[in-house]
Structure formats: C-alpha cells, structure tokens
Amino acid sequence: MQPEPFRDIAHVGSVELFTPVPERTRDFFVDLMAMKEVHRQGDSIYVHAWDDYESYTVKITGRDRAGVGRTFLRAASPQALRRRVEAIEAAGLGSGWSEDEFGLGPVFLFADPDGHDMGVYYETERYVAPDEHRPSLKNQASRFPGRGANIRRLDHVNYLAADVAAAGEFMTGVLGARPTERIVNDDGSPAAVWFSVCNKSYDLVYTSDWLGARGRLHHAAFATDTREDILRAADVFLEAGIHIETGPHKHAIQQTFFLYVWEPGGNRIELCNAGARLILAPDWEVVTWTQAERAKGQAWGLKTIETFHTHGTPVIE
C-alpha cells in the first residue's frame, strides 16, 4: 500500500504584489477588478475580492520594481500547520514566525527553492463587511459588486523559476501539492508544472524562467463566475487603456478560459474561468504535454503571443 497522501495546505490565501505605482495598481484592483480597499499599512494597500472569506485578497506593496512578494498559504488545521512547519524546517527553507501580518495569526515564513517568499498559517481573521458592503445573502462575504471584472476570488499564482524540477519537488514533497498537468521538454526536464492543493485543478504553477532568473512572477490569476464576465472585462479594460496582452481564449492546458492584462505596475494579471471543471480524483494522473504539443497553441488555435514567453516581473534588462 502506498503511503497515504496528505492534504495539509487548504488553499492559497492571498498574494503580495510589488509595484512601482501602488496607487495606480490599487485603482486597477478597485476600479476594474471590483475589489475593495480594506487596509493600509506601511507601504502596503490591502484589497478584498467580494467573496473572499478572509480579510484581504491582494497585498499591494510599493517597491521600485514590479514582482511578486509573499504568497500566503492557509493550512488545513493547526495540526497540519505544525506538520508543514516541521517539514519546511527540515528542508532548511524556513525563516521563522511572523506575528504581525495584517489579518492573519502567526505566519511561518519561508521561501521555495527558487526564492519566492511564502508563508503558511492557520489562524485568520474573517472578513466582516461594513454596513455599506453587507450582502443581501448571508452566505457570501460581501456585497456583489456587479461591475468591471467582478472578481470573486484569487485563483492561482504562476511563478517563473530557474529550476522548475527543484521547485516541484518542494511542492510535492514538502507542501503536499499534487501536480495535475505539466509540460516536459524533449530532454525530460519539466518546462512547467501545475500544482493543486485542493479540488481546483491548480493553485500554484512553476514555469521555467527563460532568463534563468530566480524568484520572478509570470502572473497572478483571479476567478470570475462566468466566461461572460471575462468578455465584459475585456471591454472594460479596453476603455480604461489597460494593456490586453492576449485572450479571451481557452488554454489547451487546464482548459481555462483566460484573459491576460498587465496592471499599471507591470505585473501580468490573468482573469480565469474553469466552468465546472474540478479535480475530484484523489489519485489524478498528471497530464503531460510535450514541447511539440505546446507549440500548437491554445485550445481553439490561438498562437501563444511572444510576450507570454518574454515578459516576467521584475523585468530584467
């Protein structure tokens, strides 16, 4: 009998984005993505998507260059948190506890082998909507905005990594994430791997950094309820002068309906919709795509746009 798999990470809680223009990035998330500003602290502005049960969804932090800051992962239980902290420490990647993260209890800080900052926690503050954002239906976190991209929640983070294989071993061996799809180079090395920690088909993704750099971001993704939300968002971005990089279209890999834009700070942001697709199989067999298959482009024939392979944040000259 195989050792029993563990599911100690419940989901990705929030992500921090660095931006040289924090107010403009804030306006992007608030005005166009339909989030609400909930907090400011130091160089950071916290924004909340309407159905996020936690206190915030994105932490926008002013920095000289765009990029991804810390990704926060919620553990499935206090016991699960303890186990993962032990495993991370055993891997030599931990850097101790933080007690003062907004909206979160104690967070154990660490980095993946590629240097992306992460944190894992269990205790969290529930979002309590102020009167003007209190929803009519009590089973949602706050009022339905019905505007712009109308983002319901954070979906996933896609990192660029110098060594995708090493990052992947950390994901599976230390965090217990499960690879659901991957692209394999002709030499057998992984070009990209999609990892799931829950029933979503992916939560964290590693793509090979074409510059061999470490710790960069390919994109952060946010979920809408419908594909129509994404089509409408495309018009909203057009009117707002936001750079639409590619889409709307459907990925062959993972079959996500997508739209990619660059927020004013330069980070690539995906709007995504998976329909009713979930990974329910506890023993899902990873789907492998070859380089030749990937070169065919997206599901309905769209060729992958050049910048998709050349733009990451921070931008490196």
Q: Does residue 55 interact with a second copy by CB under 8 A?
A: no
**Do 258 and 251 form a contact (C-beta atoms < 8 A)?**
yes
Binders in 168-197 for a second copy, by CB under 8 A: 181
User: Would you say 51 or 114 has its CB closer to a second copy?
Assistant: 51
User: Would you say 20 or 106 has its CB closer to a second copy?
Assistant: 106
Which of 198, 294, 307, 308 contacts a second copy by CB under 8 A?
198
Q: Fill in the DSSP letter of residue 113.
A: T
Q: Does residue 164 interact with a second copy by CB under 8 A?
A: no
Question: What x-and-dash track marks residues 231-260 binding a second copy by CB under 8 A?
Answer: xxxxxxxxx-x--xxxxxxx-xxxx-x-x-
Q: Does residue 27 interact with a second copy by CB under 8 A?
A: no
Q: Does residue 212 interact with a second copy by CB under 8 A?
A: no
Q: How far apart are CA 129 and CA 153, in angstroms?
A: 16
Q: Which residues contact 174 (CB under 8 A, 6 or more apart)?
A: 84, 87, 88, 91, 93
CB atoms inside a 10 Å sphere around CB 289: 17
Q: Does residue 76 interact with a second copy by CB under 8 A?
A: yes
The first and second tokens of residue 265, run together, are 């700070």
Q: Does residue 304 interact with a second copy by CB under 8 A?
A: no
> Beta strand pairing status for 153-161 and 204-208?
parallel
Which of 51, 101, 112, 209 contacts a second copy by CB under 8 A?
51
Q: Does residue 53 interact with a second copy by CB under 8 A?
A: yes
> Nearest approach, Cβ of 54 to a second copy (angstroms)?
8
Q: Does residue 131 interact with a second copy by CB under 8 A?
A: no
> Nearest approach, Cβ of 148 to a second copy (angstroms)?
6
3-state secondary structure 255-306: CCEEEEEECCCCCEEEEEECCCCCCCCCCCCCEEEEHHHHHCCCCCCCCCCH
Q: Which residues contact 243 (CB under 8 A, 6 or more apart)?
A: 261, 262
Phi-psi region of 46 (alpha: psi -120 to 50; beta: other; left: phi over 0): beta
Q: Does residue 7 interact with a second copy by CB under 8 A?
A: yes
Q: Does residue 153 interact with a second copy by CB under 8 A?
A: yes
Binding window for a second copy (CB under 8 A); candidates: 65-73, 150-158, 160-168, 183-191: 150-158
Rounded to 5 degrees, what are φ and ψ at 111? -135, 150
Q: Does residue 274 interact with a second copy by CB under 8 A?
A: yes
User: Would you say 48 or 214 has its CB closer to a second copy?
Assistant: 48
Binding window for a second copy (CB under 8 A); candidates: 97-105, 163-171, 184-192, 295-303: 295-303
- Looking at residue 102, its amino acid is F
Tokens 């905005």 belong to: 145
Binding window for a second copy (CB under 8 A); candidates: 5-13, 84-92, 104-112, 211-219: 5-13
Q: Does residue 284 interact with a second copy by CB under 8 A?
A: yes
User: Would you say 91 or 279 has its CB closer to a second copy?
Assistant: 279
The residues with which 47 forms a beta bridge, in sequence order, are: 37, 58
Q: Does residue 223 interact with a second copy by CB under 8 A?
A: yes
Q: How far apart are CA 74 and CA 121, in angstroms?
A: 5
